[in-house]
Amino acid sequence: MWRTLPKMSEADSRLVGMNSELLHQAELIRVEATNGLDPVVQSARGQFFTPERAAALLADMVDLPQSGSYRVLDPGAGSGMLTAALVDRVCRERSDLSVDIVAIEMDHTLIPALTQTVTLCEVEGTQSDNQITVHVVEDDVITALTGLGATVDPGFDLVIMNPPYCKLAASSSERRALSALGWECPNLYSVFLALGVEVVNDGGQMVAITPRSFANGPYFGQFRKRLLSQMSISWVHTFESRSSVFSDTGVLQENLVMAATKGSRYDVVRITSSRDHRDCSSERLIAYNDLVVPNDPEQFIRITTSDVDDDASRVMAGLPSSLSDLDMSVSTGRVVDFRARDNLLMDPEPGSSPLIYPGNLIEGTVSWPRQIGKAQGFSVREPNDAKALMPAGYYVLIKRFSSKEERRRIVAALWDPRINGDQPIAYENHLNVFHHKGSGLNPEVA
């Protein structure tokens, strides 16, 4: 069951970064560094810096030892906000702990801001009698941690990160580098997570804020299986609002924070949730086997955010058949519109085929044509263009993406040739299409 955590005392205000001069100064540096970024470069690199209070949340999820030496990696450190949050907590709580941090950042324009934050961290350590050392490494994270050109030795007790959020081409050097290590990484944030697993010690911890997309779906299947074979999740924090965590950066992905330990096995996982990074949390403890069902071949990470979600998850886990058992398949729509501009028609023409977007799905039916600011027709101009079409028939369509704010997370509709037209159809890539061997479904099944 969910419960609301007790209201934080002044001494606990570090959880949201409300009472720390170090974090306040680091936040000012972060904002100035963010404002100085070229928006085009920022988008291409997926650079979205961690706000003060979100950074404090990540630092709070770290299992700090009471004393000794502690080696930390902050890959893609940006302006150094996560490093500052960790140092702030260490100086408040662990007087006998010495920390050695490696902060890697490839953007040379950010090195002055990162260096400024690092200086504040080391001064904070001196004032609290903690030995705090931070090494700034100006390098690409993959180059720094892998291959013959590696400039940073592995063997970290903690990897704490807010990785970049951009996609990777299948032929990219980043994907090839991680493939050589046995990882299949569809995008850059999964590359950073994979590298974190590779360089953290057995028994060491990784804490990261990332998009939620890796938790399920076939796209991340191989990555997820390898991640869970080496790391055991101890704590997951979700945000009810998908837009407020990085409200000053424009990021709209659904994010989560995950803490996991290498080589350990947890029986219980802590699940917390808040509207954003600024308010108190609700908390529940669940069995690890409810988070990752042992016999699930896809190893989905089932993060239920309410008792209603929990009940729905149990119902779905108990369903007796898979799509293959029912002789059906599901595929993404074949039309990627920006790659097929010459084929798109804002209004259907004689001889063209319907082009269906998520915006055409209305209350279980397909409304076509519809004025949604998107092309509604697909024209076959070359013989090869016909591969984008699916034969006339009955299909079930589901939006691939939805937000927490929508009333229904799953939005489905029926393409009925009796109503919509008995002709080949083009489905846009943001739809999932249920079919039978590439053709329409049995009408009763559909």
pLDDT given for residue 10 in this prediction = 35
* Four-point Cα dihedral 101, 104, 105, 106, nearest 10: 160
Q: What size, in residues, is the chain?
A: 446
Residue located via tokens 């808040």: 274
> What are φ and ψ of residue 348, in 5° steps?
-60, 150
- For the whole prediction, is pTM greater than 0.85? no
Q: pLDDT tens digits, the chain, 446 residues: what are they?
A: 444 444 333 334 444 445 689 999 999 999 998 888 877 776 666 677 888 989 999 999 999 999 999 999 999 999 999 999 999 999 999 999 999 999 999 999 999 999 999 999 999 999 998 999 999 999 999 989 987 667 899 999 999 999 988 777 777 888 888 888 899 998 899 999 999 999 999 999 999 999 888 998 888 999 999 999 999 999 999 987 545 555 555 554 678 999 999 998 899 999 998 866 555 667 889 999 989 988 888 899 998 877 777 788 778 878 888 888 999 999 999 999 999 999 999 999 999 999 999 999 999 999 999 999 999 999 999 999 999 999 999 999 999 887 666 777 789 999 999 999 999 999 999 999 999 999 999 999 99
Residue of 430, 420, 434, 332 lying closest to 370 (CA atoms): 420
> How confident is the model at residue 296, as a pLDDT?
87
| Proportion of the chain in helix, strand, coil states, percent, rounded to 5 | 35, 25, 40
Asked whether the beta carbons of 191 and 171 are under 8 A apart, the reply is: no
For position 245, what pLDDT does the model report? 57
Bridge partners (DSSP) listed for residue 73 = 102, 159
Q: Which tens digit of pLDDT belongs to each residue from 401-417? A: 876 667 777 899 999 99
**Predicted pLDDT of residue 278:** 54
Predicted local confidence at residue 17, as pLDDT? 45
Question: Looking at residue 246, what is its pLDDT?
Answer: 54
How far, in Å, CA of 26 to CA of 85, rounded?
9
Between the alpha carbon of residue 367 and those of residues 68, 355, 358, 372, 414, the distances in Å are 65, 11, 10, 10, 10
Residue 222 main-chain phi, psi, to 5 deg: -65, -40
Instruction: Tell me how far apart the alpha carbons of residues 14 and 92 are, in angstroms, rounded to a whole number.
Output: 9
Helix axis angle, 81-93 relative to 111-127, nearest 10°?
0
Contacts of residue 374, defined as CB under 8 A and 6 or more positions apart, other chains included, come to 337, 355, 357, 359, 428
Domains of the chain: 3-317 (3.40.50.150), 329-435 (no CATH)
